[in-house]
Amino acid sequence: MTLSFDGRVAIVTGAGGGLGRTYALELARRGARVVVNDLGGARDGSGSSDTAEQVAEEIRAAGGEAIANGASVTDEAQVEEMVAAARERWGGIHILINNAGILRDKSFAKMDIPDFRTVVDVHLTGSAICTKAVWNGMRDQAYGRILMTASSTGLFGNFGQANYGAAKLGLAGLAKTLHLEGAKYNIHVNTIAPTAATRMTEDLLPEAMLTAFDPALVTPGAIYLVSDDAPSNVILGAGAGVFQACYVTLTPGVALPADDRSVEAVAANWDRIVDRNGEIVPESGAEQAMLILQQLSKG
Ligand code: NAI
């Protein structure tokens, strides 16, 4: 079975290089019309260039349809213009891959708040701005596929990336609520946590890993998650052709007796509280509250 994107319109942010470029090329190869967005800045977000145009040209040269767009994902007006231009040319937007990102790595002790804000602004707020710009249109047409880009740093932590990690786990959180709000409009929202040799990781990944981690090996996972057949509410780890699912789980925990809900009782029950036997993956925040009530009723 071939997954076709004929008739679909996709926006891929940060698609002037790295992973975003591979997503844009693959979507176009499978028939989608693609907006190749990229500010074309340096890894830390400074400056700009015409990398989006280069990728759009690459798509057109291969017989696909693409327009380049140099909007910063952090600029609401520019993003709205980008979406309006794509709609005017091709009708509705069906797919949004929020992929744009920057790095300002430093240990938290040395990180200043402007560097924290800027990284959160590009990854998290930028993704919210782009999503907001396509959201109502997706609801109206009862079709949408949105992919957020998290990272192992957000999910599990990484030294020197407090700003980046905060933004990246934020994206997984954003996806979870949008999944719930989008479900009845056939909007599927997923998250990818890629590992790939790009300029973002060139000095982080050891030499031997750089070849194995070709960004094109992440692409099948990303493209599946924005296809007609895509699941929703998935966090997919993807790198070097390996695909993994990541879950936020909840242990059954312990209902402390009404007469002893003290700090000491928490300490005494710690092993049972963190015991992963019987842990579940709640489908929403409300489910956790329900489970608390169930625990109480057992006690
Ligand atoms: P990259 O640096 O090649 O790609 C990021 C792109 O986003 C760049 O082309 C950049 O110009 C663009 N960009 C930055 N700020 C922008 C803005 N304000 N507006 C529009 N475009 C902007 O790096 P890579 O690795 O391809 O990263 C893609 C995404 O994957 C990022 O969100 C990154 O955080 C994430 N990621 C990558 C990992 C890896 O192993 N390469 C690991 C985990 C996450």
pLDDT in tens, 117-154: 999 999 999 999 999 999 999 999 999 999 999 999 99
Residue 206 has pLDDT above 90, yes or no: no
75 CA: nearest ligand 1 atom:
18
Domain assignment present for 127 = yes
Indicate the number of domains in the chain.
2
C-beta separation of 190 from 177 below 8 A? no
Q: Where are the alpha helices (DSSP H) in the chain?
A: 18-29, 51-61, 76-90, 113-120, 126-141, 152-156, 162-182, 207-212, 219-224, 263-268, 270-273, 285-298
Which residue of 123, 198, 199 sits with most ligand 1 atoms within 8 Å of its CB, as the best mutation to test the pocket?
Answer: 198
Residue nearest to atom 31 of ligand 1 (CA): 101
Q: Which amino acids bring their CB within 6 angstroms of ligand 1?
A: 13-14, 16-20, 37-41, 43, 45, 72-74, 99-102, 122, 126, 149, 151, 194-196, 198-201
What span, in angstroms and rounded, lies between the C-alpha atoms of 264 and 171?
Answer: 36
Same structural domain, 291 and 208: no
Residue 251 is assigned to a structural domain of this protein = no
Interval 69-85: pLDDT, tens? 999 999 999 999 999 99
Residue 99 included in any domain: yes
- The CB-side HSE value for 233 (13 A sphere, CA atoms) comes to 15
Average pLDDT over residues 193-217: 90
> Closest Cα to residue 56, out of 25, 90, 100?
25
In a domain? residue 258: no
18 C-alpha to center of ligand 1: Å? 7
Shared domain check, 276 and 240: no
User: 267 and 176, same structural domain?
Assistant: no
Does 77 map to a domain?
Answer: yes
Tell me the average pLDDT of the chain.
Answer: 97
Q: Are residues 277 and 145 in the same domain?
A: no
What is the extent of the structural domain holding 270?
263-298
Question: Going by CA atoms, what residue is nearest to atom 40 of ligand 1?
Answer: 195
Q: Is residue 2 part of a domain?
A: no
What CATH number should be reported for the domain holding residue 168? Answer: 3.40.50.720
Output the six-digit token pair for 22: 């591979």
Query: Over pLDDT 70: what percentage of the chain?
Result: 100
CA of 172 to the centre of ligand 1 (A): 16
Between the CA of 73 and the centroid of ligand 1 the distance, in Å, is: 12
- How many other CB atoms are there within 10 angstroms of residue 255's CB atom? 16
pLDDT score at 205: 81
Nearest alpha-carbon partner for 149 in 228, 187, 96: 96
pLDDT surpassing 90 at residue 204: no
Each residue of 235-292: pLDDT tens digit? 999 999 999 999 999 999 999 999 999 999 999 999 999 999 999 999 999 999 999 9
CA–CA dist 36, 12 (Å, integer): 6
What spacing in Å lies between the alpha carbon of 254 and ligand 1's midpoint?
Answer: 42
Same domain, 226 and 93: yes
- Does residue 283 sit in the same domain as residue 148? no
Above pLDDT 90, what percent of the chain?
94
* DSSP string over 234-280: -EEEEETTEEEEE---B-------TT--SHHHHHHTHHHHS--TT-B
- Does residue 48 share a domain with residue 196? yes
C-alpha to C-alpha distances, 225 to 172, 270, 295, nearest whole angstrom: 14, 38, 35
Nearest CA to ligand 1 atom 19: 72
Q: What is the pTM of this model?
A: 0.98
Measure 187 CA to ligand 1 centroid, in angstroms: 24
Nearest CA owner, ligand 1 atom 41: 196
Whether residue 273 is found in the same domain as residue 217: no
Residue 1, domain member (yes or no): no
Q: Is residue 28 part of a domain?
A: yes
Q: Let me know whether 74 and 138 are in one domain.
A: yes
Lowest mean pLDDT among 48-52, 167-171, 200-204: 200-204
Residue 299 has pLDDT above 80, yes or no: no
Identify whether residues 283 and 185 lie together within a single domain: no
Give yes or no: residues 119 and 144 share one domain.
Answer: yes
For residue 224, indicate whether it is catalytic.
no
| Predicted pLDDT of residue 282 | 97
Cα distance between residue 122 and residue 102, in whole Å: 7
Q: Which of 23, 143, 164, 224 is catalytic?
A: 164
Kindly state whether residues 291 and 234 are assigned to the same domain.
no
Confidence of residue 109 (pLDDT cuts 50, 70, 90): very high
